[in-house]
A = this chain, B = another copy of it.
């Protein structure tokens, strides 16, 4: 089981590499990938990458409210599920697959969300997945440029694994990330992501995901930079400028359509 985009650290796992290692070791395990925060924002290939079970949800790259979960399942995983004699009901795919053939669902589905999903998918295809992936990389490149200019540290150390959809930033020693986050929330009505688990209080997270554009990013980074100042966190100013430099110099990416156009 692997998380594709790790929202608590801002690292992307290279799924094809993992598949390769498993294949080399001829390991029989199923490969299950959590794409909760990546699907529709970061390149991902369930079939081509040899994933057995992909799990995702509505409220990130699909730009919907929370309330829907999705599974993509390989033939191998289906066979394993069929061979499994444990009793289950809610977790059983067979009834769902049978109902799906007729365009239906074995229980009462969250119908309103399905209308939203229909529209969200139209929006994603209208913009084009390649453009969406490029757009998110553009935001993360600009965000990391800002972090470097502030002389702070990005939690994810491996360049190949930098998340295009969020950036976790380490607080300088002796400074509490949650106190800083409170200053930003109180002053600018912006809720930055908290560090979770081991890095609680040690990192804050900047999201740049979904229906988002260059100026939303700039508003976000300006709030981070002003907040660092107001909270007395040691840093150099200039992050916002550095991000603008990246945005201006990189090739323009067509902006996503606004909701009503």
Residues of chain A at the chain B interface (Cβ within 8 Å): 57, 59, 65-67, 90, 108-113, 115, 186-190, 213-220, 222-223, 225-226, 229-230, 237, 240-241, 244, 247-248, 252, 255-256, 258, 260
Q: Which of A111, A218, A226, A229 has the most CB of B within 10 A?
A: A218
Determine whether the beta carbon of A66 is less than 8 Å from that of B110.
yes
List of B residues within 8 angstroms of A248 by Cβ: 226, 229-230
A226–B138 alpha-carbon span in the complex (Å): 15
List of B residues within 8 angstroms of A67 by Cβ: 67, 110, 112-113
Copies of this chain present: 4
List of B residues within 8 angstroms of A215 by Cβ: 188-190, 219-220, 222-223
A163–B161 alpha-carbon span in the complex (Å): 48
Known: A189-B258, A241-B241, A255-B188. A66 touches B222 (CB 8 A): no
Q: How far is the CB of A176 from chain B (nearest CB, A)?
A: 19
Query: Can you pick out 28 interface pairs between chain A and chain B where the beta carbons lie within 8 Å of each other?
Result: A57-B108, A65-B111, A66-B108, A66-B110, A67-B67, A67-B110, A115-B260, A187-B214, A187-B252, A188-B215, A189-B255, A189-B256, A214-B222, A216-B219, A218-B218, A218-B219, A218-B223, A218-B240, A219-B219, A222-B244, A225-B244, A226-B244, A229-B248, A237-B241, A240-B240, A240-B241, A240-B244, A241-B241
Determine whether the beta carbon of A213 is less than 8 Å from that of B230.
no
Q: How far is the CB of A223 from chain B (nearest CB, A)?
A: 5
